[in-house]
Structure formats: structure tokens, C-alpha cells
Amino acid sequence: MNYAVIKTGGKQHKVEEGEIISIEKLNAGEGDKVEFEEVLAIKADGKLQVGTPVLDGAKVTGTVLSQEKDKKVVIIKMRRRQDYRSKQGHRQKLTKVKIDSIKI
């Protein structure tokens, strides 16, 4: 099982070739190729390589499948005895990416 740990959108994702992941919104259209340069670790051929903090020369490439929105999160604020109520919704924008290759 070969995998890589990449950093994108302030989060870390464990990815494998052929996997579809949802990440923070990227400025790329559907069908565009994207490269993730910040590769933190790679496991290939039973050997684990960990960067300090990133691996030099390692690259993960993928294809953008779609731009979507996450489920709605409802924020409710209320102050007791003040007649103050506030309701707000938020939907995070996401990008679905299919991982094509992991290169060391």
C-alpha cells in the first residue's frame, strides 16, 4: 500500500493513487491538473520517508473533478433576557480532486 501525506488548505491529507479527496477550494477549473509540492511523508515499497518538514523533490499530482459546497453549518447566537437572537448559515467551498500519481 503506497500513500503520501500532503498539506493543502491548512490541513494534512493521507492520499493514495486513484483516491478522490475533498479539499479546501482551489482556484482551478474542472479537468485542470494540480500539483501538491508540500509532501510531508511518502510510503512506497514498504519504506517510509518523512520530510523535515517536507520532502525535497516529492510531488503529488491530481485532476480537479468538481467545485462543490459542503453541508450547511448553522450558527445560532443568543443572549438571555436581552431579546437578542441571531441565526446564520455557512457552507464551505470544496474542490474534489482525483489523485493521479505520487512521485518521489
Summarize pLDDT for 4-62 with one digit per residue, the tens. Answer: 999 999 999 999 999 999 999 999 999 999 999 999 999 998 899 999 999 999 999 99
Q: Is 78 exposed, middle or buried (0-12, 13-18, 19+ CB in 10 A)?
A: exposed
Q: What's the predicted TM-score (pTM) here?
A: 0.85
Instruction: Please state the domain extents for the chain.
Output: 3-103
Q: Which segments within the chain are labelled E, that is strand? A: 3-8, 11-15, 20-24, 33-36, 39-44, 47-50, 59-69, 73-79, 84-90, 93-103
Q: Say if CB 43 and CB 79 are below 8 A apart.
A: no
Q: Please, what sign has the CA dihedral across residues 68, 70, 72, 76?
A: negative
